[in-house]
Structure 1
């Protein structure tokens, strides 16, 4: 009887140690998902602010947390919005993202170099940098 109990305890202890190793690998992080980036790019292209907000809510993420990781045709979301004349969503993004992220990805500098600071999106970014 004691031998049976000891054997079962050994089996349970071994299973507890090795079971996590047998679990499948976790899915790719939501921040690195190409599908999510494509959806966000489509919303920006189509100027669909409410759909973007709903998707962010559904995924339980904040735009500021993923902004620097998403590129649409090798452009940031704000640059992509400017190129597609998606002013509403571009202003929303410009208000939602941290200033450090806008500096880091070069959006303010790009807007300045392209002489776009007088555009609706550019005005929103300028107002944040020069209160």
Structure 2
């Protein structure tokens, strides 16, 4: 891939397409190499859901909020004004804490637990990977 010819969002779109086809055909690992670049993609098997006869445990007080997909991290919705989540902010479960722009799709990042933001591991407009850690909550 020629770095100068394809923008970051364009590259993310191409990689999303490759990952989609890998999932479609059951390919778990792919390596592409040309004169200047090396791309290696490894996919983990999806976790099988488990069914329990007892009530689920309460939310943990510590958690990691991860990217729902690969794309460009957006701290706030690009069409709305708002304050991004910052260090030491209190958040609640299901609160939208950011977005991932995946091609032309904007995916919300909901908090999976409540607590206080103790680490922010992605910067606004930075490419992020599939299920990459974005926030640490305690």
Q: TM-score, normalised by structure 1?
A: 0.25
Larger strand fraction of residues:
2
Structure with higher helix content = 1
Larger RCO, structures 1/2 (Cα 8 Å, 6+ apart): 2
